[in-house]
Structure 1
Amino acid sequence: MWTLTIDQEGSRRVGDRVEQLLADLAAASPLTSASPGAVVLPFERTVGDEVQGVLADPDLVVDLALHLVRAGGWSIGIGAGTVDTPLPASSRAASGTAFIHARDAVEAAKSRLRSVPLAVRGPRADLAAEAEGVLVLLGSVVSRRTAAGWSVVDRLVAAGASARQEDVAAALGISQQAVSARLRAALWFEEVAARPAAARLLRLTGDDGHDGRPDEGEGAA
């Protein structure tokens, strides 16, 4: 499983944003379309301006991490490992190696030397470092994408598998060539191609012989 510990940056300067984040996660984030069982323990405030939750789907971990990078203002720690059972109702009451690794990861993510405040820790330090490297590269793409790039990307994502560039162009009132140019500048197709690699490395990082999902009867959310 994967624990995400998310700590607000600069809370003394901008005020507490935790409730705003939790509302966003519930209403307009990758969590809203997660498959059954993917969210093991829901995200909640743990202490101060920190939020924590447990996921069982590495693809969802990637999607959520990049969603948070785009939002900005958060240090993101991803911990791969086990979660002790039986599962409690709250992540505040949960324990296991995934939580220990997530704590180490979020502290590493706070380093001022990082251009993307994201880190991964797990039982396989080498694989965790590789997963982190791919995620940081993806995060760099996301954090540098312009508003014009996002306008096209968001339209494509909202349209789903049936998305067509000509429809996006018509909706935005620009040419199809402009849509193609924005997608190239946004490195959108490169991001889509690299996301599965990040998810696979996360899966390998936390592989302990278990598929990552709670066994029947463990009470997953």
Structure 2
Amino acid sequence: MLAIHARYRGREIRRAQLVRRSAEALSTLNGVGEFEILGVEDICAVVDSPAALCDTVMALLSDGSWAIGIGVAPGSTDEDHTRASATGALRGSVRAGTVKVAISPKGSSTLESDIAAVFALMGHVLSKRTIEGREATSLVRSGLNQNEAAEELGISKQAMSQRLQAAGWQAETAGWGLAVNLLTRANAGATD
């Protein structure tokens, strides 16, 4: 079982409203349960699959204002326990853009650090993205091919290709696949 806990670390004055709206929006992602609002800055949800978890983490990393805890409880059906693992991953002070992982019962610390590392790398790619790059990658991620995305933006296929390259689309795609694979292993109870 997988869960995610996110803590808002941005500078929004009306953070409680932003956190509530974010919880509502994230709950609409495929495979994501309803986000529970925990206080003013924290939200937590159970997630159905490694792919849905990666999509959720990517959305939070794209915003740049969230610290993220991932809880993995292989073979568990206890949602409260899995949520507690995600919450436990965020113990102490954490900065925006940080992803921490807790596998429960205590799993491989190497696997935990590998998952955190791949999200750190993807977070770096996302933080360097321009508005044009975000538009291009969003369209391709939604299922459009490059020609369709270029037409949607009113640009040439070559310009679309250049935007995707500058936005680090290949690195994001590779990182996303690696994160899904690592989370799948962790959720299956791998120990190495």
TM superposition score normalised by structure 2: 0.83
Between the aligned partners of 2:44 and 2:163, the Cα distance in structure 1 is 35
Q: 1:168 to 1:206 in 2, by over 3 A?
A: closer
CA shift for structure 1 position 164: 3.4
Aligned partner of 2:94 among 105, 111, 119: 111
CA shift for structure 1 position 141: 1.1
Aligned residue for 2:25, secondary structure, equals: helix
Aligned residue for 1:208, secondary structure, equals: coil
CA shift for structure 1 position 12: 7.5
Aligned partner of 2:80 among 95, 109, 114: 95
CA shift for structure 1 position 167: 2.9
Between the aligned partners of 1:11 and 1:83, the Cα distance in structure 2 is 38
CA shift for structure 1 position 100: 3.9
Between the aligned partners of 1:102 and 1:152, the Cα distance in structure 2 is 32
Q: 1:186 to 1:201 in 2, by over 3 A?
A: same
Between the aligned partners of 1:141 and 1:165, the Cα distance in structure 2 is 20
Amino acid at match of 1:74: W
Q: Any gaps of 5 or more consecutive residues in structure 2?
A: none
Between the aligned partners of 1:77 and 1:70, the Cα distance in structure 2 is 16
1:139-176 deviation digits (Å, cap 9, x = unpaired): 21122211011121122233x2xx33233223322222
Q: Does 1:8 align with 2:1?
A: no
CA shift for structure 1 position 66: 0.5
Aligned residue for 1:95, secondary structure, equals: helix
Partner residue in 2 for 1:196 = 177
Q: 1:42 to 1:166 in 2, by over 3 A?
A: closer
Partner residue in 1 for 2:145 = 164
Aligned residue for 1:42, secondary structure, equals: coil
Amino acid at match of 1:111: V
CA shift for structure 1 position 83: 8.1
Q: 1:95 to 1:167 in 2, by over 3 A?
A: closer
**Count of residues in Structure 1 that have an aligned counterpart in Structure 2:** 186
CA contact (8 A) 2:2 2:70 kept: yes
Alignment of 1:21-100 (within 5 A): 21-27=22-28, 31=29, 33-34=30-31, 39=32, 41-81=33-73, 94-96=79-81, 98-100=82-84
**Percent of aligned positions that are identical:** 28
Partner residue in 2 for 1:155 = 139
Q: Any gaps of 5 or more consecutive residues in structure 1?
A: 88-93, 210-221
Aligned residue for 2:85, secondary structure, equals: helix
Partner residue in 2 for 1:145 = 129
Between the aligned partners of 1:183 and 1:10, the Cα distance in structure 2 is 27
Partner residue in 2 for 1:91 = none
Partner residue in 2 for 1:125 = 109
Q: 1:124 to 1:168 in 2, by over 3 A?
A: same
Q: Does 1:185 align with 2:177?
A: no
Look at both structures and tell me which one has the larger radius of gyration over its CA atoms. 1
Amino acid at match of 2:40: G
CA shift for structure 1 position 10: 4.4
CA shift for structure 1 position 4: 0.8
